[in-house]
Amino acid sequence: MLVDRLLLARIDPAQWRFSVHSAPAGDYDLDTWMRELRAVLVVNGSYYGLKGEPDTPLISNGVSMGPAEYEALHGAFVASARDANVVDLNGKDWRKVFAGKTNAMVSYPLLVDENGLTRAKRSEWLAGRSFVGQDRSGKIVIGTTADAFLSLDRFAELLRRSPLDLATALNLDGGPVACQAIDLGVYHRRTCGPQELQVEGNKVRLLQSLLARDWALPIVLAVLPP
């Protein structure tokens, strides 16, 4: 029985550019980001606060944002003009990992770490999910679920057991903001998280009602033409 679908993109950093963007005012949704950035792919990014500002450290086109003091125990996406990587921050200082990068963002939990394990804790929250990962050939893998039937630990287990050959996989913010769009001219794709659910035994409770419009995306990761 089909429960959910995972919409995937595998990207060669040698062929495409990556950038991280923030719009705290909450006036950019998925379509606006795609249009304004002229991106081939946009996915929601890491976590943000009540005022839309980054809750984790990030760099957007060379500009540092988010908290200057932060204990990062999970992972980070980092990119420069030459490469892009998803880094396991265990035993590393995120400031040193960010050094020399033009775009970067810390997020959590690390769904697949360097040892093939996960740092996602057991959860009964079901929601739309997004992740950015790196396979063992060095390519960046971006994925977003089409629906909202996976807890974080089950999402992590799905990625660990998948044939994607992931060396690392980093969770991005979930719920209604779990959005992804692709525009390659001849191919288009678009999805946004529909809701959040909580499971207690045999009871399922809707935590986020369906909306007539998409949520704003204060933080995104974009893939741009070279």
pLDDT in tens, 54-72: 999 999 999 999 999 999 9
Give the least confident one: 119-123, 174-178, 193-197.
193-197
pTM: 0.92
Given a cut of 60, is residue 20 above it in pLDDT?
yes
Mind listing the pLDDT tens digit for each residue in 160-180? 999 999 999 999 999 889 999
- Cα(77)–Cα(86) distance, integer angstroms: 5
Q: Which residue has the higher pLDDT, 207 or 22?
A: 22
User: Residue 200: which pLDDT band, with cuts at 50, 70 and 90?
Assistant: low
pLDDT tens digits, 74-84: 999 999 999 99
Average pLDDT of the chain to the nearest whole number: 91
Task: Give every CB contact of residue 187 below 8 A, 6+ residues apart in sequence.
Answer: none
pLDDT recorded at residue 76: 98
Amino acid 210: pLDDT: 47
| Residue 40 clears pLDDT 90, i.e. is over it | yes
Q: Looking only at Cα atoms, what is the longest distance across the chain?
A: 50
Q: How far, rounded to the nearest angstrom, does the alpha carbon of residue 19 sit from its chain's CA centroid?
A: 13
Residue 209 reports pLDDT greater than 80: no
Q: Three-state SS across 61-90? A: CCEEECCCCCCCCCEEEEECCCCEEEEECC
- Look at 12-16, 64-68, 120-124, 157-161 and tell me which has the smallest mean pLDDT: 120-124
pLDDT for residue 212: 45
More confident call, 147 vs 105: 105
Whether 206 has a pLDDT exceeding 70, the answer reads no
Q: What are phi and psi of 96, to 5 degrees?
A: -70, -35
